[in-house]
Amino acid sequence: MFYYDYHVHTNFSLDSDAPMEDMIKKAIELNLKEIMFTDHVDYDYPDEDTDFFIDYDQYLLTFNEIKNKYSNKIDIKLGVEMGLQPHVAKDINDLIDKYDFDFIIGSTHAADKLDLYNGDFFKNKKQNEAYRRYFENVLENVSTLEDFDVCGHLDFIIRYGDFREKKLNYNDFSDIVDEILKTLIKKDKGLEINTSGIVYGFNQTHPQLPILKRYKELGGKILTIGSDAHSPDNICAYFDKAYAMAKQVGFNEITTFKNRKPNFIKI
């Protein structure tokens, strides 16, 4: 049995049509103990037609109603997937200070203020050059920003760019990836295993196994597992593989959060 899903989106995220209650019903069907809603907030997202912002006063009306309704069946927690960019640090801090989040995923959805999804970031870059520059942005984000708990979908850059083979070899980027992992560990930040890479046909989690293994070797302890589900059908998708990966590299515990404080449970 799986304990939780710590990366879930609802129709409060621009890229999901799933009502919060539908996600809860599926989580209860799967006998989850907890579910963490992590809808998108991305300040100054480079695509002007894409608005990744949430009115949390309105959000909490729905969230608290659902949380109370199902309180005897599942622990529903308030999280957010925050798009990290150094120049929006004040906006991030102001939002986090205003609301009582349990958990914050820090994700890099834009690099050099350019959109990954629409391809702008990849223009005039070779594949390895683009991937390295993306990791350099991630390193800057996790080094300079504080208001996050785990680094989200670390190597998801493979999803984007008009390249023939969408693959990334850890050994080609071990120097910069190791710096990211060391920075997370030094700052008591964690890493997530995000199973959406399998859902989307890339035959890997984010991060891939060698990166997860390296995180453990370097002393990483804080590990969450999330599906990045945008619909009920993908809640806990491929979590059997995620749990197996975690155990394979030596993790015996995964991390839960409440009021931004980590706790550890056996797997």
Q: Are 145 and 184 in contact (CB under 8 A)?
A: no
Q: What is the pTM of this model?
A: 0.96
Angstrom distances, CA of residue 76 to CA of 23, 71, 132, 173, 261: 11, 7, 37, 37, 16
Provide the pairing of β-strand 190-194 with 223-226.
Answer: parallel
* Per-residue model confidence as pLDDT tens for the chain (267 residues): 799 999 999 999 888 899 999 999 999 999 999 999 999 999 999 977 777 889 999 999 999 999 999 999 999 999 999 999 999 999 999 999 999 999 999 999 999 999 999 899 999 999 999 999 999 999 999 999 999 999 999 999 999 998 989 999 999 999 999 999 999 999 999 999 999 999 999 999 999 999 999 999 999 999 999 999 999 999 999 999 999 999 999 999 999 999 999 999 999
- Return the C-alpha torsion angle 202, 207, 212, 213, nearest 10: 40
> 182 pairs with which residues across the strands?
none
Alpha-carbon distance of 243 to 205, in angstroms, equals: 11
In sequence order, what are the residues at sequence separation of 6 or more whose Cβ sits closer than 8 angstroms to the Cβ of residue 246? 193, 212, 223, 225, 254, 267
Rounded to an integer, what distance in angstroms lies between the CA atom of residue 204 and that of residue 200?
A: 9
Say whether 52 sits in a helix, a strand or coil.
coil
Q: What six digits make up the tokens of 185?
A: 């560990």
Closest CA to 145 of 184, 192, 202, 201: 184
DSSP structure class, residue 102: S
**Rounded-to-integer distance, Cα 233 and Cα 201, Å:** 16
At residue 209's C-alpha, the angle toward residues 6 and 251, to 5°, is: 60
What pLDDT is recorded for position 30?
97
Q: Which two tokens stand for residue 196?
A: 């959406």
- What is residue 48's predicted lDDT score, i.e. its pLDDT? 72
The identity of residue 127, as a single letter, is Q
Which of 220, 231, 219, 165 has the alpha carbon at shortest distance from 193?
220
Return the structure tokens found at 214. Answer: 């390296």
Measured between alpha carbons, how far is 94 from 92 in angstroms, rounded to an integer? 6
**Cβ(39)–Cβ(59) under 8 Å?**
yes
| pLDDT given at position 95 | 97
Both structure tokens of 229: 């589900």
Separation CA 193–CA 49 (nearest Å): 30
Hey, what amino acid is at 208?
Answer: Q
Q: Which domains does the chain have, with CATH numbers?
A: 4-266 (3.20.20.140)
